[in-house]
């Protein structure tokens, strides 16, 4: 808990520049490889923090639907202490450095930007400064924006409160749908029971970006890499998914509790 005096003090304005552009406030989106620099008018004792979520997973469904509250810990970026700028990058995925979403706070004496005390709908409010990195502008590239967020069983909420759209976290089906929405497609968040209404089952060779459906474990993943034998879905192929843990990339056969047989291949229209 931050001291009351700190909470009542005038907030520090935190902004971000991408590739040397004019620093902007609010949520900032970038691609991996772009230079992302945080800016704040800090004195010599000013400090920078990443706000890291403590829970790897939560359940919104028990005993009935609700927004289970996530908790966050400020972790100082000591290399930037006392500086007016701080270059940053995303948390990354296995083999894919720099992607994902990070929340930041600055403190300077009794002043601070919004931080761990600013929560709503289970996560941090939009007032808390965030930067989101994607691998590229493809479907899978946009899915990588969810790296660093927790698994939320029943990540939902209407009228601009959907936790996946807000990058608070996602369950397995919402992670798969999120990339389509970021592409501008009219994809609706659904459960694993009905995702095949938007992404029908396909036969024949698999391809990167296909949706993998595991009906017996009620799980959904996205095909990240089709390894030899090419065109054939097998346990050595890599999937990007979230299952009671933050998003990761791993072989299908490495997580039989979530990615159980039989396997179906779905594809968004």
Rg of the Cα atoms in the chain: 20
Per-residue tokens: 251 = 């072989």
Return the pLDDT at 4: 46
Phi-psi region of 47 (alpha: psi -120 to 50; beta: other; left: phi over 0): beta
Calpha distance 200→191 (Å, rounded): 14
The domains located in the chain, with CATH, are 1-54+66-152 (no CATH), 171-269 (3.90.1720.10)
Calpha distance 154→156 (Å, rounded): 6
DSSP summary character for residue 107: E
Q: Give every residue of the chain whose pLDDT is below 70, as ranges.
A: 1-10, 158-160
208 burial level (CB within 10 Å; 0-12, 13-18, 19+): middle
Return the pLDDT at 192: 94
Kindly report, residue by residue over 146-198, the tens digit of the pLDDT.
999 999 999 987 666 789 999 999 999 999 999 999 999 999 999 999 999 99
Return the pLDDT at 159: 63
Calpha distance 240→217 (Å, rounded): 16
Return the pLDDT at 156: 82
């Amino acid at each position: 808990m931050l001291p009351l005096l700190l909470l009542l003090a005038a907030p520090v304005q935190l902004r971000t520049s991408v590739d040397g552009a004019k620093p902007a406030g609010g949520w900032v989106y970038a691609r991996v490889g772009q230079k992302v620099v945080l800016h704040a008018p800090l004195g010599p004792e000013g400090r920078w923090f990443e706000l890291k979520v403590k829970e790897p997973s939560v359940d919104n469904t028990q005993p009935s639907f609700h927004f289970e509250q996530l908790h966050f810990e400020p972790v100082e970026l000591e290399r930037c202490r006392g500086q007016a700028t701080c270059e940053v990058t995303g948390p990354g995925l296995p083999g894919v450095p720099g992607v994902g979403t990070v929340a930041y706070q600055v403190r300077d004496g009794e002043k601070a930007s919004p931080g761990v005390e600013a929560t709503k709908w289970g996560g941090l409010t939009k007032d808390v400064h965030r930067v989101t990195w994607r691998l590229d502008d493809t479907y899978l590239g946009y899915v990588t924006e969810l790296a660093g967020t927790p698994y939320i069983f029943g990540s939902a909420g209407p009228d601009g409160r959907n936790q996946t759209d807000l990058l608070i976290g996602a369950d397995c089906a919402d992670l798969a749908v999120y990339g389509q929405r970021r592409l501008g497609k009219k994809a609706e968040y659904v459960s694993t029971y009905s995702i095949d209404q938007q992404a029908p089952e396909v036969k024949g060779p698999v391809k990167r970006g296909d949706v993998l459906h595991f009906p017996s474990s009620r799980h959904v993943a996205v095909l990240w890499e089709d390894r030899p034998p090419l065109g054939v879905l097998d346990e050595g192929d890599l999937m990007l998914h979230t299952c009671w843990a933050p998003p990761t990339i791993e072989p299908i056969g490495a997580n039989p509790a979530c990615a159980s047989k039989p396997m179906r291949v779905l594809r968004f229209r």
